[in-house]
Amino acid sequence: MSPQTSSQSHLIKKIVIVGGGTAGWLAANHLAKNLLTQAPDSVEITLVESANIPTIGVGEGTVPMMRQSLQHLGISETEFILECDATFKQGIKFVDWAKNPTAGKPSYYHHVFDYPQTSDIDLTAYWLKNIKQNGSSYVDTLSIQGRICDAGLAPKLITTPEFQGAASYGYHLDAIKFSALLAKNAVNKLGVKHIKADVKNITQHENGEIKSLLTLDQGEISADFFVDCTGFKSLLLGEKLKVPFKDKSDTLFVDHAVAIQVPYEDENSPIASHTISTALKTGWVWDIGLKERRGIGHVYSSAYVSHEQAEQELRDYIGPIADDANSRLIPMKIGYREKFWHKNCVALGLAQGFVEPLEATGLLVFDATAKMLAEQFPSSKLDMPLIAKQFNQRVAVSWDNVIDFVKAHYCLSKRDDSDFWLDNRAEHTIPDSLKERLARWKHQPPSAYDFASKFDIFNLENYQYILYGMDFDTQMSHFSNRMAQDDKAQQVFTDIQQQAEFAVNKLPKHRDLINKIYQHGLQKL
Ligand SMILES: Cc1cc2nc3c(=O)[nH]c(=O)nc-3n(C[C@H](O)[C@H](O)[C@H](O)COP(=O)(O)OP(=O)(O)OC[C@H]3O[C@@H](n4cnc5c(N)ncnc54)[C@H](O)[C@@H]3O)c2cc1C
């Protein structure tokens, strides 16, 4: 064989994605957008999904990055809102996380999407030194968004163009409808082929690479490259290629969710423009408002509570409107694969890993890794080992970063009303990386130096909201020169208060804006 023919034989001309949940269709969209829109004949992309195995169908909260992805993939915001029953999400309101609940008087803080305002003065250190003791919360001193959420307002006006806002936002959405919209976009606009078939077996080449899928309905489907989006079972990477799973349940204890959907009391009931996360004795409850219904779930550790008791606590949280509603029990595997790209196979979505949905990281990580795969996709198998090595390192950094951040919510809590909360703060359950950071932040507030990696999913601003929302005590031994300008700092805070008042007077109620979008749509960019 001539050298040229040999290198031709390594070209990747056929990609098959297995799985039609949000991860599979996100992968299909990103790969097609990058590979097919430039050179439609260079490669063929096919998505194979079972008609019999349902998608997980939960995953209703996203973060602001989803706006960029929708825009990049050519999906209009109006179309997305209408087709996915989507509403706006401006952050998460954490109820009863910081300390034991007091009857009738829940404590809460917001982790909002708008970053704290910046200035050449160290505003966080200034807040710690001069303002915190007056009882003004961190979020309300440095951002306008907590008050927008508390007032039940939308982050934009009907006249604000698509994907723009007075405050930053992501979405709440119906996960099953989102998969369907992504499928329509990938097939109709981007040229992805779609096959319904159950994969029954997988064949390999002598070198261990995957050769083909054996299906009952469509016979053998071969390809040069495979993307495993088969959910928790990880059919290709986990079961066939035997890439081990790194279990992280000794750090993050929750392992089940029980979910219920309920209608609103009436068609004018307010829709929260943030996720509400309420801590309970052995886990926490998510409460997400879509246009016609709320999706509510109790995420808990089965080592500390029975499934029956967990469901009862969820029903107690919701009240009588849940009396006739069916519940769904969802087991969860917490951790990630030792490698995400092995030989000619990459796993995305739940097949890659999963961490409890406290900060809605599922879609965020899967969207980011699908984009990274698409942008770095090799044209030849000869380039694969180096790209795979880098991909594996970067995705592992992202997962460890997510695990540290989620664990921080438990470590910072002062709750001691159950073994679940006490055990969560046991030293041996806390990753060293997080322990070191928390030790450092006892003496100085977090700074950009603590977040050197571009692949950290959660950064300085996210930690600031959580630390100071949960009343973390930073005892600064010295105050930087950048804080010495009291007048200037005071002026910044006064400006933020004025901006907040302006926003609260101008912005519409969240439900009113959603109704208007159904009537008129948003202006295209
Ligand atoms: C309780 C819970 C709450 C969550 N909340 C959030 C949240 O708020 N925000 C967020 O971003 N994420 C959340 N997630 C994560 C979210 O659900 C996932 O990101 C998302 O749904 C991706 O799922 P998936 O596509 O990987 O897998 P699935 O949805 O499980 O899809 C698997 C696909 O593989 C196919 N398949 C499986 N076996 C075969 C076979 N043999 N042959 C052919 N096809 C096959 C199935 O038919 C299906 O199409 C949550 C997850 C859980 C468990």
Residue range 100-132, pLDDT digits in tens: 998 888 899 999 999 877 777 788 988 998 889
Task: Establish if 148 belongs to a structural domain.
Answer: yes
Sheet architecture: strand order including 353-354? 245-247, 335-337, 353-354
Query: CA-to-CA distance for 505 and 144, rounded, in angstroms?
Result: 12
Q: In this predicted structure, what is the pLDDT of residue 242?
A: 98
Q: Please indicate, yes or no, if residue 516 is contained in any of the structural domains.
A: no
pLDDT for 66: 94
Which pLDDT belongs to residue 484? 62
91-95 and 275-280 beta bridge pairing: parallel
Taking the centre of ligand 1 as the mean of its atom positions, its distance from the CA of residue 176, in whole angstroms, is 10
Q: Are residues 98 and 130 part of one domain?
A: yes
Q: Which helix (H) or strand (E) holds 117?
A: none
pLDDT above 80 for 7: no
- Average pLDDT, integer, range 280-299: 97
Residues contacting ligand 1 via CB (< 6 Å):
18-24, 48-50, 53, 55-56, 58-62, 175, 198-199, 229-231, 235, 257, 297, 330, 332, 349-351, 357, 360, 362-364, 366
Structural domain contains residue 132: yes
Provide the H-helix boundaries in 377-485.
Answer: 384-411, 419-424, 432-440, 460-469
Strand partners of residue 352:
none
d(CA 377, CA 48): 20
Q: What's the CATH number where 424 sits?
A: 3.50.50.60
For position 479, what pLDDT does the model report?
63
User: Do 440 and 302 fall into the same domain?
Assistant: yes
Atom of ligand 1 nearest to the CA of 352: 26
Centre of ligand 1 to C-alpha 418, Å, is: 31
Pairing assessment for the beta strands 108-112 and 283-289 based on DSSP bridges: unpaired
Local confidence band at 306 (pLDDT 50, 70, 90 cut-offs)? very high
Which tokens sit at 170? 């992501």
CA-closest candidate to residue 75, choices 194, 193, 173, 196: 173
* Residues forming beta bridges with residue 220, ordered by sequence position: 214
Does residue 512 sit within a domain? no
Average pLDDT value for residue range 317-333: 96
Catalytic residue positions, numbered: 89
Q: Select the more confidently predicted residue: 440 or 456.
A: 440
Is the pLDDT assigned to residue 145 strictly greater than 70? yes
Q: What pLDDT score was predicted for residue 457? A: 85
pLDDT of residue 336: 98
| Residue 452 pLDDT class (50, 70, 90 cuts) | confident
Please give the tally of structural domains in the chain. Answer: 2
362-417 tens-digit pLDDT:
888 999 999 999 999 998 999 999 999 999 999 999 999 999 999 999 999 999 99
Domain stops at, among 359, 378, 399: 399
Q: Compute the distance from residue 175 Cα to the ligand 1 centre, in Å.
A: 9
pLDDT at position 5: 52
- Check whether residue 237 and residue 353 sit in a common domain: yes
For ligand 1, mutation pick of 16, 17, 22, 398 (most atoms within 8 Å of CB): 22
Q: Which of 83-92, 120-129, 338-347 is the least confident region?
A: 120-129
Contacting residues for 274 by C-beta, under 8 A, at least 6 apart: 89, 90, 91, 92, 93, 110, 112, 149
CA torsion 500-506-509-510 (nearest 10°) is -70
Determine the average pLDDT of the residues in 284-293. 97
| Residue 474: predicted pLDDT | 93
Examine the pLDDT at 1 and tell me if it is beyond 50.
Answer: no
Q: With 60 as the cut, is the pLDDT of residue 482 above it?
A: no
- The closest-lying atom of ligand 1 relative to the alpha carbon of residue 349 is 26
| Whether 411 and 492 share a structural domain | yes
Q: Is residue 65 situated within a structural domain?
A: yes
Q: What is the pTM of this model?
A: 0.95
Instruction: Mark whether 273 and 141 lie in a shared domain.
Output: yes
413 and 493, same domain (yes or no): yes
Residue 515 lies in a domain: no
Question: Residue 500 C-alpha to ligand 1 middle, in angstroms?
Answer: 38
The pLDDT tens digits of the residues spanning 169-199 come to 999 999 999 999 999 999 999 999 999 999 9
Sheet containing strand 225-228, strands side by side: 193-196, 44-49, 14-18, 225-228, 345-347, 341-342
Domain carrying residue 111: 87-152+251-332+403-500
Q: 101 and 216 in one domain?
A: no
Residues 27 and 58 both lie in one domain: yes
User: Quick one: 344 and 478 in the same domain?
Assistant: no
Identify whether 506 is part of a domain. no
Same domain (yes/no): 389, 418:
no
Q: Which residues contact 165 (CB under 8 A, 6 or more apart)?
A: 88, 155, 156
**Rounded percentage of the chain residues whose pLDDT exceeds 90:** 83
pLDDT of 464-480, one tens digit each? 999 999 999 998 876 66
pLDDT band at 65 (very low <50, low <70, confident <90, very high): very high
Mean pLDDT of the residues in the chain:
93
Please tell me whether residues 382 and 460 are part of one structural domain. Answer: no
Residues 131 and 212 in one domain: no
Closest ligand 1 atom number to CA of residue 348: 26
